[in-house]
């Protein structure tokens, strides 16, 4: 797995801001770059999976650790 070139902290934000901020952050990155996003919204786990399915960006990791959720996304297009 690659090393994130950008980190996005969405702690404290509720739906839909984690996906909105993630999409915005990816727009400013180049293809192949990796984004790490942290969220405290339990809804982010199903939502980020759905978001990745829809956008076809690659969800390299989606994990829960101590009340936080960590996502690693590779920009594919």
Q: Which residues are catalytic?
A: 15
Can you name the residues that pair with 20 across neighbouring β-strands?
Answer: none
Contact with other proteins (CB under 8 A) among 7, 9, 24, 63 = 24
Q: Indicate the Cα dihedral angle 67, 14, 29, 57, nearest 10°.
A: 80
Query: Does residue number 55 form part of the binding site for other proteins (CB under 8 A)?
Result: yes
Length of the chain counted residue by residue: 77
Contact with other proteins (CB under 8 A) among 1, 3, 30, 56 = 56
By CB atoms closer than 10 A (0-12, 13-18, 19+), residue 71 is: buried
- CB nearer to other proteins: give 55 or 60: 55
Query: Could you tell me which stretch among 1-9, 40-48, 61-69 binds other proteins (CB under 8 A)?
Result: 40-48
In angstroms, the CA 1 to CA 66 distance is 22
Chain contacts with other proteins (rule: CB under 8 A): 12-17, 19-20, 22-24, 40-41, 47, 50-51, 54-56, 77
């Amino acid at each position: 797995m690659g090393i994130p070139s950008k980190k996005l902290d969405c702690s404290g934000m509720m739906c839909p801001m984690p996906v909105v901020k993630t999409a915005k952050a990816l727009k400013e990155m180049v293809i192949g770059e990796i984004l790490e996003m942290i969220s405290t919204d339990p809804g982010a786990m199903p939502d980020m999976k759905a978001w990745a399915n829809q956008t076809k960006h690659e969800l390299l990791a989606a994990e829960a650790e101590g009340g936080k959720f960590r996502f690693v996304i590779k920009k594919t297009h």
